[in-house]
Amino acid sequence: MNILKLFFLGFILLCPFLSYAQEDVLKYEMKTRWTNEVSPNDVWDKYPRPQMVRDNWENLNGLWEYAILPTDNKKVPEKFQGEILVPFAIESKLSRVKKMVDEDNYLWYKTSFKAPLLRADEDLLLHFGAVDWEAQIFLNGKEVGLHKGGYDPFSFNIAPFLEEGDQELVVRVWDPTDKGTQPRGKQLDSPRGIWYTPVTGIWQTVWLEKVPQSRIELVKPTPDVDSRNVSVEVLTNATNENLIVDVEVLKEGKAISREKLSYGAGSESGLLKLSVPQPRLWSPEDPFLYDLNIRLLRADGTLLDEVESYFGMRKISLGKDAKGYTRILLNDKPLFQWGLLDQGWWPDGLYTPPTEEAMLFDVEKTLEMGFNMIRKHVKVEPARYYYHCDKMGVLVWQDMPNGNYFRDLRIQAWEEKDAERPLESAIQFEEELKAMMDHFHLFPSILVWVPLNEGWGQYDTERIAEWTEQYDPSRLVDCPSGWADRGVGDMYDIHLYPGPGMEPAEADRASVLGEFGGLGYPVEDHLWWDKKNWGYLTYHSEDEFVEAYDDLMDALIGPVSKGLSAAVYTQTTDVEGEVNGLITYDREVVKIAPDKLTDIHSKLYQEYWDAFSLVKDSEVNPHEWKVSNAVESEDWKKTSFDDFAWDVKPAPFSSYDNTFISNNTEWTNEKIYLRKTFHTNVVPETLFLRHYMPKASARIYLNGQLIADLKDRGGRKRHYTDVDISQYSDQIKNGKNVIAIELSKDEENASFDVGLYTTRKVR
C-alpha cells in the first residue's frame, strides 16, 4: 500500500467521521415550522399515486400500535408496547416513539380497519409506499405476503383474507441497516459526519384501493419527440379472457389521439403508439403535461377498469455544441443543468417530510435560488414529489439508494477492480433498481438514472450501466457518479470538494461535476447537535460565506466554457451534523437570499463557449517549465529576468508516486521556482487558473504581479481545480508574458501542475 492510499484511509477514518455512542443516537431533535401541523387525523392524506389515478381509495395512515421484540420470536405479539404515528419511521420525533430497533429485533405494527363492500368481481389492494427494509404482512392472523426493499412501493390483494367486522392488519419489519448489504442510502446505526440516523419501518403512505379483478397494474408512457408520438405500455393482471386496452391522449382537456389494442387471454402487457401532433415540449420554461385516459374492456366492450395518467413530451440526449464539445441536450438544445444535491432528510421526520407542504418547500426554494435541477441523492421520495417536479419544470437526477460504505463492497477511487457482490445481494440490488425505475418511469422530470454512487457498493459497473441504458433508453445514465470511472454510461462524472473542476468531455460522454462545494456555515440556534458540525470548508460569518460561494460560482464559469454540461452543489439543506446546506436543517434560515443567489447563478446560464489556453496544463500531455531550486533575488519573477541557466523539466511535479497524475518530474526540494514564457495577441476579458496541488502551496506571478496565493484546501485530490482570477486579466500583455511560481511543499508528499486559460462570452 503506497503513501497516498494510507492518506486516503486516514482521511476516511478520522475526518469527517466523528462517531458517538449509540445511546446518544436519538438524543438530538429539532422542530420545523410544520412539526405541530402533523395530526393523526389527516397525516399525509393526499392521493399517493398521481401517475395512475382511481377514485376508490382509503388512507390508513394514522396511529397504529407497535412493539420491538427479539427476532427469535416470529409470532404476532400478544401485547403491543404503545402507539406509533404512520408513516413516520420509529426513530423519528414525529413517530411519537423515537426508539432504535437494530438487526436483532423485529418492529411489529398493528392496526384495524373496516373493509369496503366488495362485489364478486372486485379485489381490495393493500398498498405500502415504502417500508425499510423487509416487511411481512398478516391480515386476520393469516400471512398475506413478504416484501424486501426499502424504497419501492408494493401491494397485496387482501380480498381472500377478509373477515366479517373489523380487519386486523399486522406488519413485521426487519431492518439490518449497516449490518447488511441491502440498499440503505446514508443510514448508519452510529451516525457521524455524512452518515445519518437509521430509518426503520413504514415511512410512506399505507392505503387501500378497491379495484376490479381484471385491472390495469402499471402505465409506462415513453415520449418520442422526433417521431411526434408517445408509446404507452399498459400492464394488466393476467386473466383467462380476451381484453381490449383503449388509450386516449388529451391536450388541455381535448382528445387529440386514440388507439386500442387487443390482449389475448393470459397476456399481461401491450404497447400502444399514439400520435402527438405539433407537440408542446416539456421544459423548465414550459412544463406542459398531456393527460392520458386508459380503459380496460372486455371483448364485447364492457368497461372493466379505468385510470387517469399523464406524460410530458421531452427528449434528453447527448450532442455536440458549436465548439464540438459533447453536451447534454434537452429537446435537442444544450441546457446547462445546475442543481443541488438533495438528500431529503428532515429533523422531525427523518426520511418522511412532516407534510406535503414541507416537502414542496425544498423544491420551491431550489427554483427560487436559481437552480433548475435536483440530484436526489441515494434516496427516493413519494410519487407526489416527482408529480410536483413535473408540474414545476424541475429537472431530476435520480440516484439508486445504495450503501456498503464501511464494508467489503466499498472500493477506492484508484482501484481498477470493482467490488465482488455476493449473488444474492446482487439480485436484491438489481430487483430494487428495476422496481424504482418502473415506479418512476412516467415522470418526465427524471432525466438521469444514477445506479451507482462513488465506490459505495460499486460492482459490475459496465454491466449495470449497460442494463440501465437498455432498460430505459429514454433517459441518460450516470454510472458511477464520482470516484472510480469505468468509461461507461453517458457521463464522465467527478466529485471535487470544494472544486470546481472537470474532466474533458469525451466523444460520446458528457463531462459533469456530480458533487462539489459543500461550503459549511453553521447558523447559531439552528444546529442539530452541540458537537462538532462539519462542512468541506467552514465559515463563521455570513459575509465570508457569501464571498466564498460567489467566488466558487465565478470559478465555475471556466469549466462551463470548456464543455461542462452539469454541476451539482452540495447541498440543499444542512443534515444533522453537516452544515453545508444553503438552508438550515430546520428550514428556517436561507443562508443566502434567494434573489441574490439567482443573480449569482445567472452567469452560469450564459453562453461561455469560447475557451482557449494561454499556458497549457500537463494533465494529458506534458508541457515544459523552466525550473530552479533557488533564486538569488526578487527579479526572478519579472518578465526581464534571464532564466537561460535554469533547468527545463516537464510538469506535473510530484514528490511521490501519485496515482492520479503523470509523475513527470520528481520534486525533491522543499521549495522550487518555475517560469514559463508565453505569447498572445488577445487581451482577455476573463482569466482562470486550472491547478492540481495536493499538500502544496503556490505563489503565482504574472509579469511580476502576484495574481494568486494558493493553499491546499484539503479534500480528496483526484482532479484539477479551476479558480477565477479575472481581476488580473488586464495583466496579460499583447505579445510576451511570463508566469512565475514559487512552489512549496506543505507535507512530504506533494504534487503540482497548473494551466492558465481565458474565456470569451458569446454575445
Tell me which of 77-81, 508-512, 662-666, 698-702 is least confident: 662-666
User: How far are the Cα atoms of 664, 688, 697 from residue 740, in angstroms, in the given order?
Assistant: 19, 15, 14
How far is 456 from 38, CA to CA, in rounded Å? 35
Give the count of domains, the chain: 4
Checking if the pLDDT of 7 tops 80, the result is no
* Percentage of the residues of the chain whose pLDDT score is greater than 70: 96
pLDDT score recorded for residue 534: 77
- For residue 558, what pLDDT band results from cuts at 50, 70 and 90? very high
pLDDT reading at 142 higher than 80: yes
In the structure, how many helices (H) and strands (E) does the chain have? 7, 44
Encode pLDDT of 425-451 as tens digits. Answer: 999 999 999 999 999 999 999 999 999
**Spatial separation of the C-alpha atoms in residues 228 and 281, rounded to whole Å:** 10
Q: What is the pLDDT of residue 16?
A: 43
Q: Residue 20 above 60 pLDDT?
A: no
Amino acid type, 83: E
**Could you tell me the end-to-end alpha-carbon distance of the chain, in angstroms, rounded to an integer?**
52
Alpha-carbon distance 673 to 742, whole Å? Answer: 5
Entry pTM: 0.94
| Residue 597 and residue 583 share a domain | yes
654 and 539, same structural domain? no
- Dihedral sign computed on CA atoms, order 323, 327, 333, 337: negative
360 shares a domain with 326 = yes
Can you state the angle between helices 594-602 and 356-368, rounded to 10 degrees?
A: 40
Is residue 726 predicted with pLDDT exceeding 90?
Answer: yes
Residues 175 and 251 in one domain: no
Average pLDDT over residues 256-284: 94
pLDDT tens digit sequence for 645-657:
999 999 999 999 9
Residues 581 and 452 grouped into a single domain: yes
Q: CB-hemisphere CA count at 13 Å for 318?
A: 24
Q: Report, as an integer, the average pLDDT of 71-80.
A: 94
pLDDT tens for each residue of 322-347: 889 999 999 999 999 999 999 999 99
Q: What is the mean pLDDT of residues 247-269?
A: 93
The answer on pLDDT for 12 being more than 80 is no
pLDDT in tens, 277-314: 999 999 999 999 999 999 999 999 999 999 999 999 99
Q: Characterize 119-156 residue by residue with b for buried, 16 or more Cβ atoms within 10 angstroms of its Cβ, and e for exposed.
A: eeeebbbbbbbbbbbbbbbbbbeeebeebbbbbbbbbb
Same domain, 285 and 355: no
- Residue 155 is part of a domain; what is its CATH number? 2.60.120.260
pLDDT score, position 403: 74
Q: What is the mean pLDDT of the chain?
A: 93
Q: What is the pLDDT of residue 406?
A: 66
* pLDDT at residue 3, as a whole number: 40
Q: What is the mean pLDDT of residues 504-519?
A: 96
* CA–CA gap between residue 132 and residue 203 (Å, rounded): 7
494 shares its domain with 386: yes
In this structure, the answer to whether residues 504 and 545 fall within a common structural domain is: yes
Of the residues 274, 293, 311, the one at which a domain ends: 311
Per-residue confidence (pLDDT) for residue 362, from 0 to 100: 98
Residue 684 in this model has a pLDDT that exceeds 90: no
Quick one: pLDDT at residue 517? 97
**173 and 32, same structural domain?**
yes
Least confident of 91-95, 549-553, 603-607: 603-607
Average pLDDT, stretch 717-732? Answer: 93
Q: In a 3-state reduction of DSSP, which class is residue 43?
A: coil
- Considering the domain architecture, whether residues 192 and 259 belong to the same structural domain is answered as no
Largest CA distance in the chain: 99
Digit-coded pLDDT (tens) for 341-397: 999 999 999 999 999 999 999 999 999 999 999 999 999 999 999 999 999 999 999
User: Which residue is associated with the grid cell 413516520?
Assistant: 88
Q: Decide if pLDDT at 532 tops 90.
A: no
Q: Of 165, 189, 210, which marks where a domain is finished?
A: 210
Has residue 583 got a pLDDT over 60? yes
The reply to whether 130 and 142 lie within a common domain is yes
Q: If you search the block for the grid coordinates 484511509, which residue do you land on? A: 9
pLDDT band at 23 (very low <50, low <70, confident <90, very high): low
Count how many residues are written for the chain. 763
What CATH number does residue 271 fall under? 2.60.40.10
**Are 683 and 743 in a shared domain?**
yes
Residue type, 131: V
Residue 708 has pLDDT above 50, yes or no: yes
Domain residues for the domain of 654 are 612-760
pLDDT at 274: 98
- The answer to which of 101-115, 211-225, 523-537 has the lowest mean pLDDT is 523-537
Q: Which of the listed residues 167, 193, 210 is the one where a domain comes to its end?
A: 210
> Are 248 and 232 within 8 A, CB to CB?
no
Instruction: Report whether pLDDT(2) > 60.
Output: no
With cut-offs at 50, 70 and 90, classify the pLDDT of residue 762. low
Closest CA to 385 of 97, 141, 129, 556: 129
Cell readout for 715 is 479534500
Q: What is the CATH number of the domain that holds 585?
A: 3.20.20.80
Identify the band that residue 563 occupies on the pLDDT scale cut at 50, 70 and 90: very high
pLDDT at 616: 96
Structural element, H or E, at residue 721: strand 721-724
The 10s digit of each residue's pLDDT in 29-60 is 999 999 999 999 999 999 999 999 999 999 99
Number of C-beta neighbours around residue 71 at 10 A: 12
